[in-house]
Amino acid sequence: MKQLSVVVLFSLLSGCNQPQEIATFAALTDRATVEFVSVAHSVVRNCEIIQKTNREKPESIFVTAGPEATANECASSDRAEKALLDSHKVITGYMNTLKLLASDNILITQPADGAIDSLKSGLKISDAQVVALKGLTNAIAKIATDGYRRRELAKMIDMADAPLQAAVTALAEVIEVNIAKDFDATADSLKSYYRRGLRGQDTSTVASILWIEQGEAELAALKEKKEATLGYCRMLKSIAGGHAKLKAANGNFKSAGLVQFLVEAAKSIQAEQLKVERAFASRR
Amino acid sequence: MPATVDESAERWADKYNDAANAIADFLDENFDSLVPEDVKEFTKAEKALRKLAKQMRDEAIVFKMEGLNEDLKAISKATERGTKAILKINDVKNGIRIVTGVIKLGVAVVSGNPGAAVAAAKDLAKDLKA
């Protein structure tokens, strides 16, 4: 009878699925979105490139030194970077909360021992029974807490999904349109700078060839950053897609379709994150 | 439908950048026939256009991000809700209350008393909802 009760109760309670898949997805998302700092800073970095190519006067390819851009010349870029980071911070803050709420690390285990000990005398149970009870109560506490977390997660995901989709759409548009154009215009400025240096020069000399190569290398680095930035945009869309699936799951976070989707989304996020890391790691 | 401020700023930035590129092309094509003073003036104009285009692109980003505010407020509310839920789980007093309920349930189960187990399970469910 005792065994049957335990089995029945456990069967009922273990219907509450652990939200570990969400914790993994949110943790990955939280980590990947750190790269946005580089993406946002590219707005300022591009301004510095434009200012530098504007200030230097390559009347000849031998004159390349010139004053660096000062911070106030890129004040509008500083404001744009701040606006981007502030908006993005809200999304990362949310993802971090999602990760914490879904994480197994917040399981209540500490108060359990003390609570059992304080009840021991009142219940008149033996030490052996206390040990058995601890194992059982910890397991039940875990399941009970998971139920609470799952409900809170479902509520939070439901509440945040529509604004999250809207925010990601707006951010993606800024990246795909504004920041992508910013890279193109910076490339135009660089090309013009290197062309200026070659005007009136013999393009077959070693100095000219080195000058051309230097220009090509800088343009290639800029192109790589632009591609990685667009990759970041794809990553944001994967995050939004994953979140929409979580909402659609309506608390049933263990469904095979959802788990499979999150695994695929996580792979895509990781791949794009690596590209962004690589492109912005170099100081070119 | 009239263009928004950010769309207008972006469009003007494109036009300024196109104009700067046109000047650079003109200088390439006519460099040998231009006097140095003219080259200097055209180069100066090209640089000024690039600088203005950049500032307009930056402003367009700022405007767009400001337009996001309403959506972000809703996400902030959801985050606040989640944070409160986490604090509730981590709150020791609340934690002890929940675990005590869990223990009562466990005791009822191991003692083989279905009535007490059902009552304890109900109490626990009430506690978790609180």
Tell me which chain B residues have a C-beta less than 8 angstroms from the C-beta of A129: 110
Q: Does A160 touch chain B (CB under 8 A)?
A: yes
Q: From the list A50, A94, A136, which residue is nearest B79 (CB)?
A: A94
Give the other-Cβ count within 10 Å of A89's Cβ. 13
Q: How far apart are CA A81 and CA A86, in angstroms?
A: 9
Residue of B72, B93, B123 for testing the chain A interface, max A β-carbons within 10 Å:
B72
Q: How far apart are CA A230 and CA A228, in angstroms?
A: 5
Tokens 């009922």: give the residue. Answer: A12
Q: Does B62 touch chain A (CB under 8 A)?
A: yes
Q: B126: burial class by Cβ within 10 Å (0-12, 13-18, 19+)?
A: exposed
Q: What is the nearest CA distance from A99 to chain B, expressed in angstroms?
A: 10
Task: Answer yes or no: do A47 and B102 touch at CB < 8 A.
Answer: no
One digit per residue, the tens of pLDDT, for chain A of length 284 reads: 344 343 333 333 333 444 677 888 888 887 788 888 989 999 999 999 998 888 766 654 454 544 454 557 899 999 999 999 998 889 888 988 888 888 766 544 444 455 556 556 555 666 776 676 666 666 666 666 777 778 888 899 999 999 999 999 999 999 999 999 999 999 999 999 999 888 888 888 998 899 899 999 999 999 999 999 999 999 899 889 989 988 988 877 777 788 888 888 888 888 888 888 888 886 44
Q: What is the nearest CA distance from B99 to chain A, expressed in angstroms?
A: 6
The token pair at B106 is 């466990």
The token pair at A238 is 């994967």
A74 → chain B, closest CA residue: B55
Structure pTM?
A: 0.78
Torsional sign, CA A107, A108, A113, A119 = negative
Say how many CB pairs under 8 Å bridge A and B. 217
Q: How far apart are CA A44 and CA A78, in angstroms?
A: 6
| Angle between helices A36-55 and A206-249 in degrees, nearest 10 | 150
The ipTM estimated for the assembled molecules is 0.75
Tokens 């709150």: give the residue. Answer: B91
